Amino acid sequence: MRLISLTNKIFILILIHQKYSGIPPNLSKKIRNLCALSKYILLNMSTIPYIFDAVRTPRGRGKKSGSLHEVKPVDLLKTVLNAVQERNQLDTKQVDDVVIGCVTPVGEQGGDVAKAALLYADWDVSVPGFQLNRFCASGLEAVNVAAMKVASGWEDLVVAGGVESMSRVPMGSDGGALMFDPAVNAKVGFVPQGISADLIATIEGFDRETVDRYAVSSQQRASHAQTNGYFDGSIIPVIDQSNITILDKDEHLRPGTTVETLGNLNPAFKMMGDMGFDAVALLKYPEIEMINHVHTGGNSSGIVDGASLVLIGTKEKGEALGLKPRAKILSVATSSSEPTIMLQGPAPATWKALKKAGMEPKDIDLWEMNEAFASAVLKFQRDLNVDDDILNVNGGAIALGHPLGATGTMLLGTILDELERRNLSTGLVTLCVGGGMGVTTIIERV
Binding region for other proteins (CB under 8 A): 172-173, 175, 179-183, 185-186, 190-191, 272, 275-280, 282-283, 286-290
Of 190 and 373, nearer to other proteins (C-beta) is 190
Of 12 and 279, nearer to other proteins (C-beta) is 279
Q: Cβ atoms within 10 A of the Cβ of 282, count?
A: 18
Of 278 and 418, nearer to other proteins (C-beta) is 278
Specify whether the CB–CB gap between 233 and 413 falls below 8 A: no
Name the minimum Å distance from CB 111 to other proteins. 18
Of 182 and 263, nearer to other proteins (C-beta) is 182
Of 12 and 184, nearer to other proteins (C-beta) is 184
Q: Judge residue 189's burial from the number of C-beta atoms within 10 Å of its C-beta, 0-12 exposed, 13-18 middle, 19 or more buried.
A: middle
Q: Whole-angstrom Cα distance, residue 251 to residue 254?
A: 9
Q: Whole-angstrom Cα distance, residue 218 to residue 198?
A: 19
Of 42 and 186, nearer to other proteins (C-beta) is 186
Name the minimum Å distance from CB 435 to other proteins. 15
- Active site annotation includes 35: no
211, amino acid identity: V
Name the minimum Å distance from CB 285 to other proteins. 9
**Residue 129 CB contacts under 8 Å (≥ 6 apart), including other chains:** 97, 98, 99, 100, 112, 114, 115, 117, 118
Name the minimum Å distance from CB 237 to other proteins. 34
Of 128 and 170, nearer to other proteins (C-beta) is 170
Name the minimum Å distance from CB 340 to other proteins. 11
- Active site annotation includes 69: no
Q: Whole-angstrom Cα distance, residue 299 to residue 211?
A: 7
Name the minimum Å distance from CB 276 to other proteins. 3
Of 172 and 255, nearer to other proteins (C-beta) is 172
Name the minimum Å distance from CB 175 to other proteins. 7
Name the minimum Å distance from CB 64 to other proteins. 17
Specify whether the CB–CB gap between 345 and 436 falls below 8 A: yes
Q: What are phi and psi of 394, to 5 degrees?
A: -110, 35
Of 43 and 171, nearer to other proteins (C-beta) is 171
From the list 35, 102, 136, 295, the catalytic residue is: 136
Specify whether the CB–CB gap between 306 and 58 falls below 8 A: yes
- Active site annotation includes 402: yes
Q: Is 405 left (phi over 0), alpha (psi -120 to 50) or beta?
A: alpha
Name the minimum Å distance from CB 122 to other proteins. 36
Active-site positions read 136, 402, 432
